[in-house]
Amino acid sequence: MVVLGIGIDMVKTEKFSSAIKKWGDAFLSRVFEEKELSGIPEGKMYYQRLAARFAAKEAVIKAVSKSFPLALKDIHVLNRSNGAPYCMFKDNMDLEIFLSITHIEDYAVACAVAQKKT
């Protein structure tokens, strides 16, 4: 496989939660698909998890930006049954994305490696 790029992004959780509280569902629907939101239960880590998915989308955009122009809603960040994050695209793309996400109270970070499928 050929590596197309690597992307990383960090989001301050408080800033992200403020945007959600200010613009609510209008903001969420501009960034996420319903299937992405349904996988995040409300609770103590709700904003951390949303911020982490946002960071993952930004990392993917950075990883593929030289080859493919993407918008936030073109990328779907979901979790496997074991909790591992993975990325799907709105349209079929010949890409494989390796994704790593982490978050703590104040920050969410994601790293993405994009490879062209052979």
Query: What is the number of structural domains in the chain?
Result: 1
Regarding predicted confidence, which is higher, 39 or 35? Answer: 35
Q: For residue 67, what pLDDT is reported?
A: 80
Q: Is the pTM of this model over 0.85?
A: yes
Sign of the C-alpha dihedral, residues 45, 28, 106, 74? positive
User: With bands split at pLDDT 50, 70 and 90, how would you rate the model's confidence at 118?
Assistant: confident
Sign of the C-alpha dihedral computed for residues 104, 84, 79 and 1 taken in this order: positive
- Polymer length of the chain: 118
Position 39 confidence tier, pLDDT thresholds 50, 70, 90: confident
CATH number at residue 83: 3.90.470.20
Q: What is the mean pLDDT of the chain?
A: 93
Q: What is the pLDDT of residue 47?
A: 96
Residue at 56: amino acid letter: A
Extended strands (E) in the chain: 2-12, 75-79, 85-89, 95-103, 107-116
Tokens representing 73 are: 């809603």
User: Residue 14 — pLDDT band, cuts 50, 70, 90?
Assistant: very high
Cα distances from 14 to residues 31, 54, 68, in angstroms, run 17, 13, 30
- Mean pLDDT of the region 84-93: 91
Q: 29: domain range? A: 2-116
